[in-house]
Amino acid sequence: MSVDAAPRPVRRIWAQAVQADAAVLEARLDAITAEGALSPAEETVALAVADRLAAARAATTKSYPMPGRLSNWWRGTLVEASFQNLHAAEALLATIYPPVAVWAEVPEAAARAENTLGRDDPRWACAWEMYAERAALLDPGLDATHLTRWRECLRKTIEVGFSAADLEHTRLRNFRNAVVGGTVVLSILLLAFVGFVYANPSDVSFCFAPDPGEPPVCPTNGDGPQRDDVLVIALLGMLGGLLSGIVSIKNMLGTSIAYDVPQALAWLKLPLGALSAVGGLLVIRGQFIPGLSNLDTSDQILAYAFAFGVAQQLLVGMIDKQAQDLLGAAPGKASSVPRPPAPPPPRPEPSPTSSVRS
């Protein structure tokens, strides 16, 4: 694998986490190879582990085969390359662990598989068997048969655990991309509408007539529709959307995931706030809601525009809920897990009266 001579500095938190984990795995690999007791097959595995760690580090410094900047951000190319190579290295390294290391790694791998797969998933069976057998042993000493089986079981458990976690992160990235795409399209359409109304203020009026024969009441206190009316309404709606975005971010759980879902949702609320303000005033002016018709002063119009901008949170609350669910389901990309697995339930003993047919 070819890398650039001068890698770029590491700035993102996820890249620093990958480099730290890669350094830990590399130290483990060096300790294992320093003992000099590896078979030719295990030496091949050690070389593969070193290659995957180098690829993971190269992706964090953008020395990996670099996609376009926008493509990398949209597809998460370097993020996924970093963690998938790191995960592959950790799974391969499990096949050459000494007995004590295998013993120590079982609880974390089993916990990760339980958290990402669930106990009803048959892929967790291997982890269940290994964890139950580990609880029955008195010390980490393993004979050759147990060691080979545990190594392969540990490797598979690590693979399926990280694979399920990577799938959750893919769903989260797709959700973020959908939010960003919707924000861009909505912003373009909103700008086109505001530009049209600014050029033709009388075509879409935000003025109200409190009583017949009285002069109209407009957002900017003009004698009739003005160009600035739509700008003031849209900006107040954006301020209301910004306020609701700050509140929703405060209530959103923190995350160390590389994809900025809370930030994407905050940007979405700005054009939505402007759209809610414009649409809400048009609904009132059209007497669409019974009992809510004309507004009496320009201050009322501006206050309603701001209130409608804040009220857009009622419309996008389900999007925030979906984001919360995805963030909660997506575990951290690093090797750590939030909690240890529960002790495996005891298996039922066979009945002494049961018989097996020949």
Residue 127 CA to residue 105 CA, distance in Å, equals: 11
Residue 156, C-beta contacts closer than 8 angstroms, at least 6 positions apart:
126
Residue 50, C-beta contacts closer than 8 angstroms, at least 6 positions apart:
26, 29
pLDDT in tens, the chain (358 residues): 444 444 555 567 788 888 999 999 999 999 999 987 888 999 999 999 999 999 999 888 876 666 677 777 778 788 888 899 999 999 999 999 988 888 888 888 888 877 777 667 777 677 777 777 776 665 566 666 677 888 888 888 888 888 888 887 788 888 889 889 999 999 999 999 999 999 998 888 888 887 767 788 889 888 888 899 999 999 999 999 988 878 776 666 555 566 777 778 888 889 999 999 999 898 888 877 666 667 888 888 899 999 999 988 887 777 777 776 666 655 554 444 444 444 444 444 444 443 333 3
pTM of the model: 0.71
Digit-coded pLDDT (tens) for 275-300: 999 998 988 888 776 666 678 888 88
Residues 131, 87 contacting (CB under 8 angstroms): no
Query: Within a 10 A sphere around the Cβ of 108, how many other Cβ atoms?
Result: 18
Digit-coded pLDDT (tens) for 18-64: 899 999 999 999 999 998 788 899 999 999 999 999 999 988 887 66
Q: Which long-range contacts (CB under 8 A, 24 or more apart) does 313-318 make?
A: 313/244, 313/247, 313/248, 313/269, 315/272, 315/276, 316/265, 316/268, 316/269, 316/272
Domain extents in the chain: 13-166, 172-329
